[in-house]
Structure 1
Amino acid sequence: MSSTHPMMMKYLSLGVLVLQTTSLVLTMRYSRTLTEVGPRYLASSAVVFAEAIKILVCAVLVFVENNYSARATRQLLKDEIVSKPLETVKLAIPAGIYTLQNNLLYVALSNLDAATYQVTYQLKILTTALFSVSMLGRRLGMYQWLALILLMAGVTLVQWPTAPQEDSEMKALSASAQFVGLMAVLTACLSSGFAGVYFEKILKETKQSVWLRNIQLGLFGFIFGTLGMMAYDGQRVRQYGIFQGYNTITCVVVCLQALGGLVVAVVIKYADNILKGFATSMSIILSALISYFLLGDFNPSRIFFSGAALVITATFLYGYERKPAIGSNAVKV
């Protein structure tokens, strides 16, 4: 019975992650294409408020875990966050790396064509697996490594740009710019894999609840996000305010982003970062199918269907385990 709950949480959290990621992609796409009078909302401010909501929700969940005792909750937060600064600072590492990663992706997109970016960024799937093996001691079989390669290839094909690129755009990208973009995306792949596995290691080796750890992570994410917002959008914030362009759809996007942070933490706690990659890949396909059948703003190509088939095949292959041959003399010790 004790193993049933973690297994149920594993697949439930993976399913919720697929739905959350799909909803976020579609809602965010709608919010960024919606024609509104006045300035558009700042993506940097949405990130900051998503972190704030995540901290608030986690605080409420910690309150529930402490039998609705405000005194016990306050004491726990003080003991685990304020009184243990070294433990708290550990979460600054993944929070800082995630912030660095977002900036690196911006640099990569500014110096690479879309096709090169999409193909290269899928290396994060393999870097996550390599860090899982080296940092967590996880052992992957031949079928799982093959599944990871198929997944990387499938996601690459699914996200492959369908519109031909302008020759002028290609010529505008000098060799030095392409090198800078390539180094940026490769560093982002390494940082993504390391930060995810590092956070997983903390969650699975700690006695604290996943919600308490999320508060610690969210605090640093809020600080780094605010600094980034003021650095990149400070002038617009001073001119139009931090809530510029906010409407109902924007609030939904922010809430979905906050939910994503919570669900990812649960997935990492009960599953792992590799399965998180599979769930994210499935959400890409689901988003594209919804766009085709319901929204009518996407026309899938043969390349897309080939990539989707590879992702689905990889998903089943990753969970395949070879059964020992009957009559095998292998003995577990």
Structure 2
Amino acid sequence: MQWYLVAALLSILTSSQGILTTLSQSNGGYKYDYATVPFLAEIFKLLVSSFLLWRECKSSSPPKMTTEWKNVRLFPIPSIIYLVHNNVQFATLTYVDTSTYQIMGNLKIVTTGILFRMFLRRKLSNLKWIAIILLAVGTTTSQVKGCGEASCDSLFSAPIQGYMLGILSACLSALAGVYTEFLMKKNSDSLYWQNVQLYTFGAIFNMARLLVDDFRGEFENGPWWQRLLNGYTLTTWMVVLNLGSTGLLVSWLMKYADNIVKVYSTSMAMLLTMVLSIYIFNLKPTLQLFLGIIICMMSLHLYFAPPNMLVNSPPAVKALPESLNEVLVDRTTDS
């Protein structure tokens, strides 16, 4: 499957994720424990990857699977980074409001490009760097609210701790993605075997989070496994399947494409979510959204368009036939 088809599908699923999550609410809140959704999504990804790996093992050419501990021990690291990142996110929201937090989240576009260059040694042309910066500017523009609103002034009024934590959050998000790409491409192991390792540790860490929540609440609502599916509806299950399918597509992109493609896919998903929300939730479209979409489309064209579509190359000079070259040389010699 071509990477752009996977990226387009990822954009669609990611854009529907926020909408499905909103639709799963009841009276402005959740009847289910939202912390159980990532855990079940990890279980779903683990089951799907295990099944596909089993099918690969039954084929005529068994997949390559590295089982040495020195390789397996690298796979918990993304889960640890995401765990720290989630805590940094909560800490950031104690200093800044939601609008400022969303705008600062676009820093991960630039930090992904920087870490992509530093750790994976992938050189980006000047045009690609301009495209990445334009993408960050476009997504930020689409999220800026009108200056007549009170939240417009809050972007530059947060304490310095909020900005520092926002930068740290962007760096951790980029680091997790770049490190995952490094893991997926460091050898020729089967994608499904690598997924099994990633999602096994992901499920363990999410289960640990549920246990910590139980201890913090002193088991007031009972252990997590007894209330795991409490309040689940069809929409909630769609949220779980959507989140799990998104993770599987991201791992495919990490293996066969790269982090920049994933960044573009998720950024386009954010814009698509905002457009769909206008029709689903009757939100009012803004000039900033329109301008942000235009800037992001320019960025998309700059990054992925072939060079000959971006720069007018000089017309090629046709080489003279060898016989004509000989005649010209002879005439020069005679003269």
Which bin holds the TM-score, normalised by the shorter protein?
A: 0.7 to 0.9
Residue correspondence of structure 1 range 143-162 to structure 2 within 5 A: 143-161=127-145
2:221 corresponding residue in structure 1: 239
Counterparts of 1:223 and 1:164, CA distance in 2 = 43
Partner of 1:124: 108
Shift of 1:321: 4.0
Question: TM-score w.r.t. structure 2 length?
Answer: 0.82
Name 1:31's counterpart in structure 2: 24
Q: Which residue of 2 aligns with 1:263?
A: 249
* Post-superposition CA distance 1:274-331 (Å, at most 9, x none): 11111111111212222223x1432111111111111111111111343464559xxx
Structure 2 residue 222 is matched with structure 1 residue 228: no
Q: Which residue of 1 aligns with 2:295?
A: 310
Contact 2:105/2:170, CA 8 A, preserved across alignment: yes
Partners of 1:114 and 1:161 within 8 A in 2: no
1:315–1:184 distance in 2 versus 1, CA, 3 Å: same
Q: Say yes or no: does 1:281 pair with 2:260.
A: no
Q: Which residue of 2 aligns with 1:9?
A: 2
Tell whether 2:64 aligns with 1:64.
no
Residue 236 and residue 266 in structure 1: after superposition, are their counterparts in 2 closer, same or farther (change >3 A)? farther
Are the equivalent residues in 1 in contact too, given 2:24–2:30 (CA < 8 A)? no
Unpaired runs of 5+ residues, structure 2, are 318-335
Separation in 2, partners of 1:224, 1:258: 16
* CA gap 1:224/1:161 in 2 versus in 1, 3 angstroms: farther
- Count of residue pairs brought into register by the alignment: 305
Alpha carbons of structure 1 residues 114 and 10: separation in structure 2 relative to 1, 3 Å: same
Q: Where in structure 1 are there 5+ consecutive unaligned residues? A: 1-7, 329-333
Aligned to 1:300: 285
SS in 2 for 1:312: helix
Alignment of 1:48-197 (within 5 A): 48-67=39-58, 80=66, 83-161=67-145, 164-165=149-150, 178-197=159-178
**Which residue of 197, 208, 213 maps to 2:194?**
213
1:253 equivalent to 2:234? Answer no
Residue by residue over 1:128-174, the C-alpha shift from the partner in whole angstroms, topping out at 9 and shown as x without a partner, is: 1111111111111111111111100111122234583379x96xx99
- Write the distance in 2 (CA, Å) between the matches of 1:291 and 1:326: 48
1:66 alignment partner, SS class: helix
| C-alpha distance in structure 1 between counterparts of 2:221 and 2:157, whole Å | 35
What do you get for the CA RMSD once the two structures are aligned?
A: 2.8
Structure 2: distance between partners of 1:95 and 1:304: 34
- Where 1:126 maps in the other structure, the secondary structure is helix
- 2:321 corresponds to: none
Q: Distance in 1 between matches of 2:80 and 2:54?
A: 27
- SS of residue in 1 equivalent to 2:94: helix
Greater Cα radius of gyration, structure 1 or 2: 2
Letter in 2 for 1:278: Y
**CA distance in structure 1 between the partners assigned to 2:219 and 2:59 by the alignment:** 38
Higher helix fraction (1 or 2): 1
- Which of the residues 307, 311, 314 maps onto 1:322? 307
Distance 1:231 1:105 in 2: 18
Structure 1 SS opposite 2:210? helix
- 1:233, 1:309 → 2: CA distance? 47
Corresponding residue to 1:202 among 171, 175, 183: 183
Q: Distance in 2 between the 1:19 and 1:326 partners?
A: 41
- Out of 314-323 and 143-152, give the one that drifted further: 314-323
